[in-house]
Amino acid sequence: MKRNKHAVIIVFIVWALIVGLGWALLSHYENVPGQSQPLPEHWPLATKVRRTPGLPTLLMFVHPHCPCSRASAGELSLIMAHSQKKVRAQVLFLRPETLSEQWVKTDLWDSAMRIPGVEVVMDDQGKEARIFHANVSGQVMLYDARGNLVFSGGITPSRGHQGDNDGRDAIVSFLTKGIILHKQTPFFGCLLFSSLQQS
Amino acid sequence: MGNTEALKNMDRAVQERTKVLFLEHQQRIFKQTDRLFVGLMMFQWIAGIVIALVISPKTWMGPASQTHAHVWAAIFLGGGIASFPVALGIFAPGRIMTRNVIAVAQMLFSALLIHLTGGRIETHFHVFGSLAFLAFYRDWRILIPATIVVAIDHMVRGIFWPQSVFGVLTASPWRWVEHAAWVIFEDIFLIRSCRRSVVEMRHIAERTAQLEAHNQLVDVKVKERTRELFESKEELASEITERKKLKNMMIQSEKMAAVGQLAAGVAHEINNPVGFISNNIEMLEQYTTDYTKILRMVENLQKSIEEENMEKAKSIVKAMSQFEQEINLDYIINDTGKLLQYTQRGIERIQKIVMDLRTFAREDHGAIDFVKIEEVIDSILSIVQNELKYKAELKKNYGDTPLVKCNTQRVGQVFINLLVNAIQAIEKKGAIEVKTYKEDGHVCVDVRDTGKGIEPKNLEKIFDPFFTTKPVGQGTGLGLSVSYEIIKKHGGEIKVQSKIGEGTVFTVQLPVNL
Ligand SMILES: Nc1ncnc2c1ncn2[C@@H]1O[C@H](COP(=O)(O)OP(=O)(O)O)[C@@H](O)[C@H]1O
Ligand SMILES: [Mg+2]
């Protein structure tokens, strides 16, 4: 009886350890942000992305199949609910050169199309992503009306998670009050280019 | 003293039983809920895998993809979380350890599912649903580990990956407090409801224990009563057979008593003819001597004539006619015939009385016959006639009645009783009337006397056995009770009407179509 109890407690501890370890691994994976490369502080000349004079520009780079970016799209729709017409927002969907347009038009594409005031653009061969030095799906950049980078990073609290987060707060605060809360937040998601980073 | 002691004992027994019942009930609930959670764990595990496969099957690097970490997490972490509680639920249901591990695992599942769905607000309901589900145990203590797990999940991630839980450092303490506050908010309600159910369970256990005790008591009582009933039933049965015997004896003894009462009258009845018969015989003896003398003279006369002695013959004839004159031969001859006739009648009378007496004193149970009731009454009257004629003038008033089916002997006994009672009620001289008539389906016989009557307070007692107002030796008090029984057996009725100083009428009704 007593020994039995001891055995059960030992099993419990082993179980707790295993579960804790699994949990740690998962959390670690979800919370490792993409590595930020130095971004163009000024609107790059080489880009073909359009700006509207007198309006800030918001860019979001997306891998069309990245499940984590669904959360980012959800957050974007919240931002747009606050600040339509105060910003020109564009979501750039990556289309690798070997793949068709059909590959790009996923449910993520559809949900981006449905966000009011958002332009959805196809980024052939990831040319624009390279120009803006974006490498993770869900990465957002905000340039002010004069083309200065005022914010960059993720707009989810962790990988694939929706919820209140600094990225969203920063963008909304700049667009509605002109105050810069944070210049940068961590970002999470699938990699846009296999060559840049191994997972 | 002994009583209160017993009550105290019973109270203690009920209390102990309450405890046992409560623990049994609680254990049953623990086990049931453990089983429920075993199923739920398996379901959540599979659901987690399905969710991962639907929401985030793959992770991408440019055009290349590989299985998303969520899928692996759902399979291995989910399976890991579920394994231990499921094993405990199956092999050690109802233990404290089991439900605590289940509580922990359930909250871990909440966290996992929230992750797998990408932190959707809706999935956070799983936390609250799980807490409510855990309340099924009705053991508020297991809410503690559950709540701690939620807290630790946030805390640990807050320490190592602060940005993931609380965004960046600024908002962090408030997020944590808010989340915990909501969980505790729910805990408060659940704890209350758990404790209330425990109280209710106690009540139920107590009531059940009381009921059991009561039932036991009732059971014992019922058994006791049943035994008593059984005993009294046997007693009753033996009493009934006893009574039947007694009644038979009573009927017999009453018959004897009635005969006894008649004995005097009967003796007189027999004595009377015997008296005049012996008188007659004395007379006839006298006459016979005279006849003998005359016959002797005739013999001498015959001899003288044969000897041709005429002188002697003449003197014999002279003596003969002188003797005949002396004894009044004509009268004697006449009287002899009469005496013989009376004697004959007297003997017949005695024969009849003896025969009637035999009929009514007989031991046998008697046969059922179709008879005319008047014939039965007449044969009874012939027995009591002598007794009657000194006391009362008899009036017969017979109507036209149909035959009735009855036991002649028994019904005859009834009329002897009624007539003897009537005769005895008349003190000096009176009248007795016997009337028969037909009245709606019944043949009725009224026996009316002009005797002293019955006192009203006695009217309802006279049919009771052994009720008598007559001196010892004369009355037995059985006559009317036996008569009542006999008439009842025949499906009839016997009624009485009486007025003090005026007389009494007994009415016997016998059904015709019996
Ligand atoms: N015809 C009657 N007139 C007055 N009293 C009567 C008459 N018949 C019965 N009783 C009363 O009913 C009593 C019970 O009668 P019964 O049962 O025949 O018993 P018993 O004649 O031996 O007393 C009698 O003692 C008498 O007081
Ligand atoms: Mg009598």
Give residue A72's pLDDT: 86
The CA B418 to ligand 2 mean position distance, Å, reads 7
Q: Tell me the three state secondary structure of residue B505.
A: strand
Question: Residue B86 class from Cβ within 10 Å (0-12 exposed, 13-18 middle, 19+ buried)?
Answer: buried
**How far is the alpha carbon of B174 from chain A, nearest alpha carbon, in Å?**
12
State the ipTM, two decimals. Answer: 0.71
Domain ranges of chain B: 2-173, 258-361, 370-511
**Phi and psi of B247, rounded to 5°?**
-65, -45
**How far is the alpha carbon of A90 from chain B, nearest alpha carbon, in Å?**
20
Of all protein residues, the one whose alpha carbon is nearest to atom 4 of ligand 1 is B453
Q: How far, in Å, CA of B323 to CA of B350, rounded?
A: 38
Q: What angle do CA B249, B458, B374 make, to 5 degrees?
A: 60
Choose from B51, B59, B72, B96 for mutation: most chain A CBs within 10 A: B59
Give residue B170's pLDDT: 41
Two tokens at B187?
Answer: 């805990």
Q: Which amino acid is at B501?
A: G
Residue A68 has pLDDT above 70, yes or no: yes
Beta bridge partners of A57: A88, A143
Give residue B162's pLDDT: 53
Question: Residue B92 class from Cβ within 10 Å (0-12 exposed, 13-18 middle, 19+ buried)?
Answer: middle
Candidates B460, B462, B464, B478: which one to mutate for ligand 1, based on the most atoms within 8 Å of Cβ? Answer: B462
Given a contact cutoff of 8 angstroms between Cβ atoms, the answer to whether B108 and B78 are in contact is no
Does B63 reach chain A within 8 Å, measured CB to CB? Answer: yes
* pTM of the entire predicted model: 0.53
- Condensed to tens digits (0 to 9), the pLDDT of residues B236-287 reads 899 888 888 887 777 776 666 666 666 655 666 677 788 889 999 999 999 9
Alpha helices (H) in chain A, listed in sequence order? 2-31, 69-83, 101-104, 107-114, 127-131, 166-177
Q: Which of B358, B342, B356, B357 is nearest to B275 (CA)?
A: B342
Give residue A198's pLDDT: 32
- Condensed to tens digits (0 to 9), the pLDDT of residues A134-159 reads 888 888 999 999 999 999 888 877 66
The CA B453 to ligand 1 mean position distance, Å, reads 9
Q: How far, in Å, CA of B18 to CA of B165, rounded?
A: 49
Does B101 reach chain A within 8 Å, measured CB to CB? Answer: yes
Does B444 reach chain A within 8 Å, measured CB to CB? Answer: no
Q: How many residues does chain B have?
A: 514
Candidates B262, B480, B507: which one to mutate for ligand 1, based on the most atoms within 8 Å of Cβ? Answer: B480
Q: What is the secondary structure of B19-55 as a DSSP string?
A: HHHHHHHHHHHHHHHHHHHHHHHHHHHHHHHHHHHHH
Give residue B158's pLDDT: 64
- Count Cβ–Cβ pairs < 8 Å, chain A vs chain B: 135
Give residue B111's pLDDT: 86
Highest CATH level, class, for B370-511? alpha beta
- Condensed to tens digits (0 to 9), the pLDDT of residues B148-196 reads 888 887 777 666 665 444 444 344 555 667 777 888 999 999 999 999 9
Two tokens at B44?
Answer: 């959540």
Given a contact cutoff of 8 angstroms between Cβ atoms, the answer to whether A142 and A171 are in contact is yes
Record: contact B56-A68, CB cut-off 8 A: yes
Record: contact B164-A162, CB cut-off 8 A: no
At A196, the pLDDT band (50, 70, 90 cuts) reads: very low
Q: How far, in Å, CA of A121 to CA of A109, rounded?
A: 9
The CA B379 to ligand 1 mean position distance, Å, reads 22
Give residue B171's pLDDT: 44
Sign of CA dihedral A100, A103, A107, A108: negative
Residue B170, CA distances (Å) to A181, B158, B176, B317, B490 in order: 11, 12, 12, 190, 116
Does B68 reach chain A within 8 Å, measured CB to CB? Answer: yes
Which positions ≥6 away from B263 have C-beta within 8 Å?
none
Give residue B2's pLDDT: 55
Which positions ≥6 away from B88 have C-beta within 8 Å?
A8, B34, B95, B97, B98, B101, B102
Query: Which CATH fold topology does A57-198 show?
Result: Glutaredoxin (3.40.30)
Residues of chain B with pLDDT under 70: 1-3, 118-121, 157-176, 253-269, 356-366, 472-474, 514
Choose from A4, A161, A164, A184 for mutation: most chain B CBs within 10 A: A161
Given a contact cutoff of 8 angstroms between Cβ atoms, the answer to whether A121 and A150 are in contact is no
Q: Pairing mode, if any, of strands B392-397 and A118-124?
A: unpaired
Question: Residue B255 class from Cβ within 10 Å (0-12 exposed, 13-18 middle, 19+ buried)?
Answer: buried
Give residue B434's pLDDT: 96
Of all protein residues, the one whose alpha carbon is nearest to atom 7 of ligand 1 is B421
Query: Which one of A31, A66, A162 has the shortest CB-CB distance to B119?
Result: A162
Record: contact B77-A164, CB cut-off 8 A: no
Spell out where B113-172 has E strands.
none
Two tokens at B401?
Answer: 């009645």
Q: What is the secondary structure of B417-440 as a DSSP string?
A: HHHHHHHHH-SSSEEEEEEEEEET
- Condensed to tens digits (0 to 9), the pLDDT of residues A1-14 reads 556 778 888 888 99
Record: contact B119-A157, CB cut-off 8 A: yes
Interface of B with A in 158-187 (CB under 8 A): 160-161, 163-168, 170-171, 175
Radius of gyration over every alpha carbon of chain B, rounded to an integer in angstroms: 59
At A92, the pLDDT band (50, 70, 90 cuts) reads: very high
Give residue A197's pLDDT: 37
